[in-house]
Amino acid sequence: MPTSFTLDRSDGPAADGSPVSSVTERWILRTVAICEGACEIWFLERMTDRAGPELHDDVEMLIVRNVLADSIDGLRFSSAELRDDVLRATPPSLRSALHARAAAVLAAELFPGPAANQLLRAMAVTGRVDVPLVSRLVADPATEPSVAADLLLAARAGRGAALGPQLRRDWVLATVDHLILAGRLQPALTILTEEIAADRDGAGHRAQLLGRLGAWYAIGRPSVAIDYLHQALAQSDLEPAHRSLLLTTLAHVAARVGHPDVDEFLAAAVRSQAAAGAPDGEVRLALAEAGVALAGGDVPAARQVLDRVDPSAPAARAHAAFLRVDRIVNQLVLGEYEEAGTAIRIADAEIGSLGAAARPMLTACDCRLRVAIGELPEASARAGLALRRCPTGQVSDEVRAELLAVLVEVSFRQGDPGAARKLLAGVDPPADWPENLHWVRLACAAALDPEPDRHAGLLRVAVDTLARSVRPLLLVPQQAPALTRAALLLGDRHRAHLVSGYVTRVAERVDRPLWWGIAQHVAGLVDREPGLVRDAVAELRATSARPALADALLDLARMPATPAAVARKAAEEGAALFGRLGATGDQERADRCGRAGPALDRRHRHERTAAGFDALTAAEVRVAELLAGGATKQQAAAALFVSFHTVDSQLRAVYAKLGIRNRLELARRWRTRTPDQDPG
């Protein structure tokens, strides 16, 4: 077998005796050499303008001479050294011409990705830009965003391209879009800031640049994004299509963070889109409408909106990742875990067309799916790997908080609070809305800490932020009881009631066993009613949400009013389930509860009651005295000149502080209190 040879321009054998006997063979070898993989016969025919037996005979002779190797995929060199020799022997200008021709052939045969790579190689040598071909390839959805971005960057730096002002502006915007899709955020930001500073193409283009800058910041700094979009809309002489783009983008960003003016933004976007008809405006409107529905917990409405949009449509390309992820989110919220897993795998296989920016989002969805069904070690391993591979600044705050929340939750469940607290101490979530919305999921994970007072401020902010949007809670239904339990342990019954209200609203709109089970679990904790938690267990048995079921079993076992036999059985079942999930810390707690029974909880309840009288406020004492004496809530409200709602709220606070559940217990405790417990 020849180890090296030099191609010359004669029709005979090469000077070194290598088996190249014709011009056709020389072109065959050069064509195979520039291919990224195996070279198919049809490609050879198009590149050499030859077909039939004559070409086939030449190919066969090269195979017989062991220069080329044949396979089902096509032709390759018999060794890498031979291929390198051919490339070295091909003059640069000729190699560039081969790459350019290959690009045209592949584009004509509808292979845009390989065509783009060939065109990049041609431009790297000569710097010349084939404007029509570049425009065609970067607009093709089958071209990977990173390759399209490289092609545009090379074209902008090339020579010999007659770029008109409009095409130059379009290419700037397209470059930014593809860079963002590819997850290459810093180069996108650099281009945007340089173009805005140059300000060479008028107010309309400046508005478009500001709009892209707003979209760039939307993944981490929504308040900055909204500010830039408002600046863009304030530019003079905006074309209708540009205004539509900005308004629909603003509506989308505002919807994701529960902005109070989102309805106004959405109405303006609908009017602008109807007037301008921007190609991808309908996609952004759908994302905004779905975002509003998810913020209110109306998942069926969000699904209905998203189902109207085809993620594979050319107009949806820039938003395809968001569309796919939001659809997966809907499946996770509805407890359709098997369907969500399939959707994640399909989207991951199509990451080339979706863009590398979609991978962290899909990983976060996959980790949350694994936590929801109880694959805790796998979820923790994937989340940790993703965070190591994507340092701070390369993923959005939303994804980073999601991955950290997975690690924190699994650490608490595995009985390693030190590791979870270390993770929590290593982040400094923003305190103000809208930036803090992305960190609510991390706060929900912190609620699993047996000592919630360590995170009291974070937990309170999280519950208050849910008033704007319940979206952060939708993916983590099993954390709603933990958040409620933490609020009760902190003595914050008001926020516990708020969480219960949010969850009940979601359950009413979703109407699935998963959410009815979660709602009953939370209500049972707030009302100290074991019957509700038993109903929650029954609902959750019909789902694949095994951690949520195990949590409900453990809480049922812990409740003082649960019959001893029921408590013991619930604790044993919960411990066994936690063990199968790898939640060793939860398993140990359930084992202890099963051994001790509810008697220990009743002793603790008595101790809390003794201290509870001192915790009553003056208003709560007046309400307690009237109701313990036999007055109704309506009568107490009239006597105290307050509303029925105020009396009801104060009575619930009395129940919580005294560790009781009804009026009968209140009357008995009030009569039997000792002088040192007298709140008066």
pLDDT in tens, 415-444: 999 999 999 998 888 878 888 888 899 999
Q: Is the pLDDT of residue 359 over 80?
A: yes
Q: Which of 551, 568, 601 is the last residue of a domain?
A: 601
261 versus 611: the higher-pLDDT residue is 261
Within a domain: 483: yes
Instruction: Verify that 536 and 557 share a domain, yes or no.
Output: yes
Q: Is residue 572 part of a domain?
A: yes
Residues 673 and 577 in one domain: no
- 570 & 642 share domain: no
In a domain, 556, yes or no: yes
Q: Which of 601, 624, 650 is the C-terminal boundary of a domain?
A: 601
Cα dihedral sign for 523, 529, 530, 534?
negative
pLDDT for the residue numbered 607: 43
Instruction: Please state whether beta strands 68-71 and 74-77 pair in parallel, antiparallel, or not at all (unpaired).
Output: antiparallel
CA distance 658 to 675: 16
Query: Looking at this protein, which amino acid is placed at residue 87?
Result: L
Residues 113-119 have a mean pLDDT of 91
Identify the pLDDT of residue 673: 66
Determine which helix (DSSP H) or strand (DSSP E) holds 114, and give its type and residue range: helix 112-126
Q: Which H or E run includes 70?
A: strand 68-71
- 585 and 629 fall within a common domain: no
Q: What does the pLDDT look like over 573-616, one tens digit per residue? A: 999 999 999 999 999 999 988 877 554 444 444 444 444 677 77
The pLDDT of residue 393 is: 57
Average pLDDT, the chain: 85
- Most confident range (mean pLDDT) of 40-54, 237-251, 497-511 is 497-511
State how far Cα 443 lies from the chain centre: 17
Whether 415 maps to a domain, the answer reads: no
Q: How many domains does the chain have?
A: 2
Highest mean pLDDT (candidates 224-228, 328-332, 620-624): 328-332
The answer to whether residue 649 sits within a structural domain is yes
Whether residue 594 is found in the same domain as residue 628: no
Per-residue model confidence as pLDDT tens digits over 647-677: 887 888 888 778 777 787 788 778 776 544 5
- Does some domain include residue 568? yes
Helices within 199-239 (DSSP H only): 202-217, 222-233
- Residue 109 domain-assigned? no
Same-domain check for residues 521 and 582: yes
Residue 202: band (very low, low, confident or very high) from pLDDT cuts 50, 70, 90:
confident
Q: What is the pLDDT of residues 457-467, one digit of tens each?
A: 999 999 999 99
| Mean pLDDT, residues 304-311 taken together | 87
Q: Could you tell me the CATH number of the domain that includes residue 647?
A: 1.10.10.10
Q: What is the mean pLDDT of residues 48-75?
A: 85
Torsion of CA 479, 485, 486, 492, to 10 degrees: 130
Percent pLDDT > 90 in the chain is 40
User: For residue 680, what pLDDT band results from cuts at 50, 70 and 90?
Assistant: very low
Q: Which of 314-328, 390-404, 524-538 has the highest mean pLDDT?
A: 524-538
Sign of the Cα pseudo-torsion (139, 141, 142, 145, in order): positive
Judged against a pLDDT cut of 70, whether residue 391 lies above it is answered with no
Its sign, for the CA torsion 164, 165, 167, 172, is positive
Structure-token pair, residue 609? 């009651």
Domain boundary among 551, 572, 601: 601
Determine the pLDDT at residue 6.
45
Please check whether residue 540 lies inside any domain of the structure: yes
CB burial of residue 503 (10 Å; 0-12, 13-18, 19+): buried
User: Where does the pLDDT of residue 625 fall: very low under 50, low under 70, confident under 90, or very high at 90 and above?
Assistant: confident
Domain that holds residue 523: 474-601
